[in-house]
Structure 1
Amino acid sequence: MPGMIEQSGRPASPGLTEGPVFKLRSLKSATRRARSPKAETALFTAAVRTASDDLKKIAGTADVHAAAILEFQIAMLEDEALSEPVLAAIAEGATAEAAWSQTIGAEIAGYEAAADDYFRARAADLTDIADRVLAALGGEEERTPPAGAILIGPDITPSRFLATNWDSGGGIATEAGSPSSHVAMLARARGVAMVVGLGPIDTAGHARAAIDGGAGTVILSPDAKTVTRLTAQKAEAAKTASAEAGARQNPARTACGTAIEVTINISGPDDLDGLDPAFTDGVGLVRTEFLFKDARAMEDEARQLAAYRKIVGWAKGAPVTIRTVDAGGDKPIPGYTGSGETDPFLGLRGLRLSLTRPDLFRLQLRALARAGAGGPVRIMLPMVTSPHEILAARVHLDAVLAELAAARIDHGTPEFGMMVEVPAAAFTLEDFAVDFASIGSNDLVQYMTASARGSADVAGLGDPGHRAVQIAIRAAVRGAEKGGFPISICGDAAGDPDYLPMLLGAGLRSISVAVSALGRAKLAIGGLDIGAAAP
């Protein structure tokens, strides 16, 4: 039996865990003689249907964000642009397996060759549907890992993650993969330890493994001393989690007695399940783009209204800030966002895109205004660069409000605000005619440091603590003061204890964080003296 082996990779999701090794297998197309094109077409069609049905079953029990990932895969499976070359190859005499493997393999290779780490990470979504169709063609059933298992393999697909029961613990270690992948995002949301980019992992002879997701290490056949150390670290982490759980329930106040407003970022109503609204000061960001799998879904006003009403009802009178669709860049919506831009992060995205589609923009504004009849709704516009964009957007809102009033449809009059993500807006914020603003730290850092947030190669440059970023944040706070409207901050930096002293020292008194960071942020705030944090 081999001895203990430790390998280092890239942290994808924090956590400490130890358990039995479960090897993830890679599916390959079967080698066999082709039947008639008609028979092969029938096999392929049935396999696609089976894969699609399986994904729909998993999506039906998933939360809104996970379901959106799977709906994207289902849409790709049903896309004729993907099936046509497969059917053409079958017509020329290829087996269904060979035709599918060749077609989907070329698509995967295209994503893996992308310059941006985000798009490389999307290759796992294509691998997911590739494996499911091949499994259906081969009549193979998915193996179930034992409770608390450490899943090890080249990579892991979103549907495999969602089909795994993590209630008894467990973790993930992959040879490839990215911290930006959909599975990494899901793992962080579920609290599943995950390490990626480990390179070749030889599990032969190793029955158990341990993972330190925060450190990015995996240990095969951990010895008793290592298990004891990890157990102690896990106990300390549980102690910290208990303190955070306690802080989560109370209003946020600094050590010097200053009240700080703490709201939450969500992607849809499902993110609120099990959360007491008394623990927050409201909802600071609703990312509505995750509610839509394609442009057709954006045309459904009733569906939008139902989602917004559910969130407003949950908030019980606290303000709910809902961002209009922030599509484009790393968040494409089929049929709505374009393709072929040399740099989609600097192209037609956010409000810029909404203003080119006034029909869909007004429909969303209408649903938001109607939801405002049940509580205070604030509409927030993403990717704003110039004051005239706000004026153009307000024309659409005024028209929608007039239509609702004329039709005697119940509605509210939402406050109208903006995200501060573009440096040009951060340094001239007083020029914008808005009711409120919120600093989007993720994009502001990306644009200030010229480092793509999805690229691992320049990840070290995208530092929210960079002096230039701090200057931009202070400028935005001063601009809001001059403009006479409140300002907050959302994005990852807002929930990071390392950056909170700088943010509060800059004058911010309102932050919006991920639900999972609520207790951590409040606990950190309680230990800060704003006077000491100020420059």
Structure 2
Amino acid sequence: MSIASATLILKGRTASWGFAHGPLVLVDQARVGRRTAGSSAAEERALRGALAETNGQIKTLASTIGGDAAEILEFQLELLDDKALLGPIFAAIAAGAAADDAWSRVLAEQIAHYRAAPDEYLQARAADLIDLRDRVLAALNGELRASVKIPAGAVVCAEDLPPSRFLEIDWSAGGGLALSHGSAASHVAMLARARGVPMVVQLGRLPAQAGIALLDGEQATLELDPPPARIADFAARRSADSKGKAAASAVLAGPPVIWRGDRVRLHINIQDAADLGHPDAQYSDGIGLMRTEFLFDDPAGLPDEDKQFGIYEAVLRWAGDRPVTIRTVDAGGDKPIRGFTEDGEMNPFLGVRGLRLSLKRPEIFAVQLRALARAAVHGKLRVMFPMVTVPAEFTAARDLFREVVAHLLAAGVRAALPELGIMVEVPAAALTIDAFPASFFSIGSNDLTQYVMASDRANGALSALSDPLNPAVLELIRRTAEHGLRRGASVSLCGDMAGDPRCALALLRCGVREFSMSPPSLGRVKQAIADLNLGASGD
């Protein structure tokens, strides 16, 4: 944080690109009072009624909004019917606890569990749980949750904001979202990007008073009560950004971009089918990364073969004749999954994670491989393995996959062995890339950068070391891309660098011709490459 004159400027992290200028509105977490407890039977009835009321609220909101939002709210709906979650709560009530106390205690444990997770995707689920906790408590107490009036174009400022509260705000007149905590990987961040709402997270201390705010999603800043000169400069940058968006939209729907005679293919990263609802997704050249670990982090337990197959087949059906690259479960390290990953590792980032974990748990891994083999007959499926370090890991996974396909075919089940590749995110793999008999390669720039630089990319104090444009990182990207060119194997990059227009030139110079990013980034990156072709900077 820095202070210039009377202007307060907070620096955070961009979650959704864009600019917002308007009144700052402070939104606090809900405050819910205590209730008078009754008998155990009465308390159980009260909680069941509150759960049903909350279920109805969320379902109504989901049906009103529809699309990706409905999919995101499904997480809360599943929790409301999760026997593993509700069992201890009703047991505590039967033992004499008040309904609100029992609910609050168990939810507090779940919230702490998600907040303590090293992975920001899982940390972001805490906001969903807090929202669920407060909705049920309000229903138990017969209270209506306080709702702050949000004027048109306001910059909403809060500690965190769950998806349901974001969806209750009318963003049609503009505005933005500034969070003291929050995560760029949260559900609300996905919604903000899909709706073009500027969002900055991890701003630290919130302003103590209201005022006029400038929210800059490009520079990740929140500025309160700026002087006229700053407002004028901000307006000029906002206008330029609007013109850039219009140009990017036109380019997005146009012909493919070319770089030095090569077509540049722009793919999308998705977590689930909800991401395919973004309007820009249709313009992609395919799916360059479908993460699957989030299918496994389900309160109901690990997904079975049929559930996985249904999801994979639906994505392939959406893609048509475009390629779909699905990554096998990347659990462990920063993505702990109950019932799968190992507890108590001294250094989970360097522990049993990714493909190492899958090979150690073949009874779980084989279920996913069977689902993928069945899905492979329904489209252009490619499967890649995460966190591969040595060639023996790839060959072991490939051999298990072949065995799975053989068993399915012998049983009369339609199946096929898809094209197999690896994620290049461990420096050892990049340095010995010519030893891997993979059909394709996908560079995970996020992990590759933090392993090369020995710096946690989520640690703001090490941001200078987390620059993906560091020459050491670029050298490994170049080495991998050149190997792919010699082999005739495709090489894509699916980390954050791919969706950052400022990295496009460096990646093209390294030989990367396939980029994979979130759907909202497609237009900006395609425009950036088109602009490079018009200027002299590509020489």
- Place the TM-score, normalised by the shorter chain, in its bin: 0.7 to 0.9
Q: Which residue of 197, 202, 206 maps to 2:208?
A: 202
Residue in structure 2 matched with residue 167 of structure 1 by the alignment: 172
Name the stretch that deviates more: 244-253 or 178-187: 178-187
Q: Note the C-alpha offset of 1:472.
A: 1.8
Q: Which residue of 186, 189, 209 maps to 1:184?
A: 189
Q: Which residue of 228, 235, 248 maps to 2:239?
A: 235
TM-score (norm 1): 0.84
Residue in structure 2 matched with residue 349 of structure 1 by the alignment: 353
Alignment pair present for 1:157 and 2:157: no
In the TM superposition, 1:88-167 aligns within 5 A as: 88=92, 91=95, 95-105=98-108, 108=111, 121-142=124-145, 143=147, 145-167=150-172
Q: Which residue of 452, 457, 466 maps to 2:456?
A: 452
Residue in structure 1 matched with residue 526 of structure 2 by the alignment: 522
Q: Which residue of 425, 431, 441 maps to 1:437?
A: 441
Paired with 2:316 and 2:119, the residues of 1 have a C-alpha distance of: 36
Residue in structure 2 matched with residue 40 of structure 1 by the alignment: 43
Contact 2:117 2:334 in 1 (8 A): no
Residue in structure 2 matched with residue 417 of structure 1 by the alignment: 421
| Cα distance change, pair 312–191 in 1 and its aligned pair in 2 (3 A) | same
What SS does structure 2 have at the residue aligned with 1:322?
Answer: strand
Contact 1:24 1:153 in 2 (8 A): yes
Paired with 2:264 and 2:100, the residues of 1 have a C-alpha distance of: 58
Residue in structure 2 matched with residue 78 of structure 1 by the alignment: 82
Q: Which residue of 373, 377, 385 maps to 1:373?
A: 377
Q: Note the C-alpha offset of 1:458.
A: 2.6
What SS does structure 1 have at the residue aligned with 2:268?
Answer: strand
Contact 2:264 2:513 in 1 (8 A): yes
Residue in structure 1 matched with residue 31 of structure 2 by the alignment: 28
Paired with 2:430 and 2:217, the residues of 1 have a C-alpha distance of: 35
Q: Deviations over 1:128-154 (max 9, x none)?
A: 222222222222334374554432333
Residue in structure 2 matched with residue 8 of structure 1 by the alignment: 10
Paired with 2:327 and 2:274, the residues of 1 have a C-alpha distance of: 17
Name the stretch that deviates more: 32-41 or 71-80: 71-80
What SS does structure 2 have at the residue aligned with 1:437?
Answer: strand
Q: Percent identity?
A: 42
Paired with 1:290 and 1:400, the residues of 2 have a C-alpha distance of: 23
What SS does structure 1 have at the residue aligned with 2:398?
Answer: helix
Paired with 2:54 and 2:406, the residues of 1 have a C-alpha distance of: 47
Paired with 2:344 and 2:275, the residues of 1 have a C-alpha distance of: 33
Alignment pair present for 1:324 and 2:324: no
Q: Note the C-alpha offset of 1:361.
A: 2.9
What SS does structure 1 have at the residue aligned with 2:469?
Answer: coil
Name the stretch that deviates more: 29-38 or 64-73: 64-73
Unaligned runs of at least 5 residues, structure 1:
none
Alignment pair present for 1:282 and 2:286: yes
| Cα distance change, pair 115–381 in 1 and its aligned pair in 2 (3 A) | closer
Q: Which residue of 351, 359, 365 maps to 1:361?
A: 365
Q: Deviations over 1:44-66 (max 9, x none)?
A: 34334433454455556565687
Residue in structure 2 matched with residue 309 of structure 1 by the alignment: 313
Q: Note the C-alpha offset of 1:467.
A: 1.9
Unaligned runs of at least 5 residues, structure 2:
none
Paired with 1:107 and 1:287, the residues of 2 have a C-alpha distance of: 23
Alignment pair present for 1:266 and 2:270: yes
Q: Note the C-alpha offset of 1:347.
A: 2.9
Q: Which residue of 240, 248, 251 maps to 1:247?
A: 251
Name the stretch that deviates more: 153-162 or 56-65: 56-65
TM-score (norm 2): 0.84
Contact 2:424 2:443 in 1 (8 A): yes
Paired with 1:293 and 1:227, the residues of 2 have a C-alpha distance of: 44
Q: Note the C-alpha offset of 1:469.
A: 1.0
Q: Note the C-alpha offset of 1:484.
A: 5.2
